Amino acid sequence: MAEYGHLTEKEITLFHQGKDFRCYRKFGAHAQGGKGFHFALWAPRVKSVHVIGEFDGWRDGIPMACVDLPGGSQSDIWTCFVPGAIDGMLYKFRIETLSGEVLYKADPFAFFAEKRPGTASRLAGPNTLKHRWNDEEWIKQRKSESHFKKPMNIYEVHLGSWKQHGKNAEDPVFFSYRELAKELTSYVKDMGYTYVELMPVMEHPFDGSWGYQTTGYYAPTSRYGLPKDFKYLIDCFHQAGIGVILDWVPGHFCRDAHGLCRFNGSELFESEEHVEWGTYKFDYSRPEVRSFLISNAIFWLEEYHVDGIRVDGVSSMLYLNYGIDDPAQKRFNHKGGEEDLVAQAFLQELNEVIGRLHPDVFTVAEESTAWPLVTYPPEEGGLGFHYKWDMGWMNDTLRYCALDFPFRDGSHQLLTFSMMYAFNENFILPLSHDEVVHGKCSLIQRMPGDYWRQFAGLRLLLMYQMCHSGGKLNFMGNEIGQFIEWRFYEGLEWFLLDYDAHARHQKFVKAMNHFYLNTPSLWQQNYDWSGYQWLDADNRDQSILLFKRQGKKEDDFTIILLNFQPDTYKEYKIGVPAAGAYREIFNSDREEFGGSNHINPQPLKTKKGVYHGQEQYIEIIVPPIGAVIFAPTLT
């Protein structure tokens, strides 16, 4: 097979067909055995391309040649070799457009970038990239058992504001990847989470975008260290038994001049402006863009051993008129609908490729509409994701929990409606960063009542999430009851743990998380009705929910009662599915958690009588604004 500047004819063909799913191996800048770096860039319809940088003193640059294919056709791919270029040097591409405009662009395939506010790419050779992995046991285990059969309790993290050195909003001193590997890994493990989800780590110019407006899709941000340091962080998570999910943004990119926008002087990577965010949408109809994006997802899975990818803003990709209210501006596809069929096909292909190449990893859709079959296979008309965020549960639940207690009976359906569709998709229940910013208030600040009731309400909210079917996700700070909204420019308020109420709340979250891990009935059958049974969904007068969670074994089940009012009941009868004795195995109202200690300390024997459709019942103490869980006992 003929080679063209280290690219084979087959690779060039596949790239132009949208089928080169590992094109990062040849495009961009690659070290050549200590002799220099080879460069390859896709830039159609331009006069010339030069690579400039520290290796030539940022002068005129090294000219790149456009690859000619057999028959005289041009590939639109520019290549060159720069002898003497070494690991760590800064560089850009100097592109002269057909109109004579000169553009200075960062490398779309760069593996590393200059720290902001600089905008250049940085050459990445072994000194920058190479890491010896020690997560063989994790990968082996990942391949041996499906993620659907494991507990999923996700801690969502923004690396720049989990902790910081000092407090300086003007120039924050971040924890490095290696410092986070020590502190964050041990914290997540100790707290009992099973996954971390990292808000975008791909290089981005503006801290305030939180990473969601990307310029360097293949480069972990230089804010926290080298790419090999980021690999070390992921490796440490895996060795601690923690999976890693990355937020990924294939729906749009920022309009910064050094990035992807107008890359050749006209629209190339983009199709149109995103009306919601002032960014640009990717052009999924262009095969080379599909190669770029799908290859990028594979890159993070293969080069960084990532376990899951959460695709941001899926709804904005799927609808032609997302964010457009003016009827005169609305557009329709050839079938007369508002669906973006090209974006739909891209997502289906993305998930098909990931499933074929890496069947042991998963993808998650942030999709907030009623788009059907998000987690169904493409061959069945689905998008092919493994999970979907349940935004309906999140919105309904937070709306309910913000209601003052006298008004909750009239909105009881907000608690129960999610079970009407709970198994239409494979859901993850999110209490994410989006819910604690922009004036929405922190979770605890939404809770009504005095200080005690607010903490009780937050404990109850988290218990409701934990006992509901589906995966779980909580944003950092929820576990310490932080009252202020999340601020991306400073660390969490860890000093709150010097105060008893916050320390007890963190102790509660830790205990709840470990209880979840050790209670298979709460997660073994998370995604179908075999794991869930209503016992009483309609007690709006007392604002109480009663249901059963079922494990794989017939005698492995839990009975869960959630009381959303500040009332206490001393002899409350609940129907149970089998005669015998039951013991309380968890109670959010325990004194050590900051509660009032309305607990059931002794095993409770069943009595004959029909309650909640069962032929026997037990009498329990119901805590105020609390959750209590029972399991059958042999003693």
Would you list the DSSP string of 613-633? TEEEEEEEEEPTTEEEEEEEE
Q: Name the burial class of residue 539, with classes exposed (0-12), middle (13-18) and buried (19+) by CB atoms within 10 angstroms of its CB.
A: middle
> What does the alpha-carbon distance between residue 475 and residue 435 come to, in Å, rounded to a whole number?
9
3-class DSSP state for residue 121? Answer: strand
> What does the alpha-carbon distance between residue 47 and residue 325 come to, in Å, rounded to a whole number?
41
End-to-end CA distance of the chain, in Å? 73
Q: ∠ CA 18-24-29 to the nearest 5 degrees? A: 135
Reply yes or no on whether 312 is catalytic: yes
Reply yes or no on whether 538 is catalytic: no
Type of residue found at 253:
F
Q: In whole angstroms, what separates CA 134 from the centre of its chain? A: 24
Residues 440, 473, 246, 221: is their CA dihedral positive or negative? Answer: positive
Place of tokens 């072994």: 126
Q: 3-state SS string over 189-208?
A: HHHCCCEEEECCCEECCCHH
Candidates 107, 270, 307, 312; catalytic one: 312
3-class DSSP state for residue 242? Answer: coil
Q: 3-state SS string over 543-578?
A: CEEEEEEECCCCCCEEEEEEECCCCCEEEEEEEECC
Looking at residue 584, the DSSP 8-state letter turns out to be: E
- Element at 11 (helix H, strand E): helix 9-17
* CA neighbor of 43 nearest in space, from 84, 114, 92: 92
Looking at residue 131, the DSSP 8-state letter turns out to be: -
Candidates 349, 366, 367, 584; catalytic one: 366
> What does the alpha-carbon distance between residue 504 and residue 89 come to, in Å, rounded to a whole number?
50
* CA neighbor of 479 nearest in space, from 437, 438, 507, 440: 507
Type of residue found at 196:
V
Q: Name the burial class of residue 78, with classes exposed (0-12), middle (13-18) and buried (19+) by CB atoms within 10 angstroms of its CB.
A: buried
**Residue 472 β-bridge partners:** 153, 429
Q: In what side-by-side order are the strands of the sheet with 252-253?
A: 252-253, 279-282, 270-274
Give, in order, the Cα–Cα distances in Å from 388 to each of 143, 334, 356, 393, 493: 22, 28, 20, 12, 31
Q: 3-state SS string over 272-338?
A: EEECCCCEEEECCCCHHHHHHHHHHHHHHHHHCCCCEEEECCHHHHHECCCCCCCHHHCCCCCCCCC
For the packed helices 341-357 and 287-303, what is the interaxial angle rounded to 10 degrees? Answer: 30
Phi, psi of 631 (to 5 degrees): -140, 150
Give Cβ neighbours of residue 56 (< 8 Å, ≥ 6 apart). Answer: 62, 82
Six-digit token pair at 210?
């939180």
Q: Name the burial class of residue 42, with classes exposed (0-12), middle (13-18) and buried (19+) by CB atoms within 10 angstroms of its CB.
A: buried
Residues known to be catalytic = 312, 366
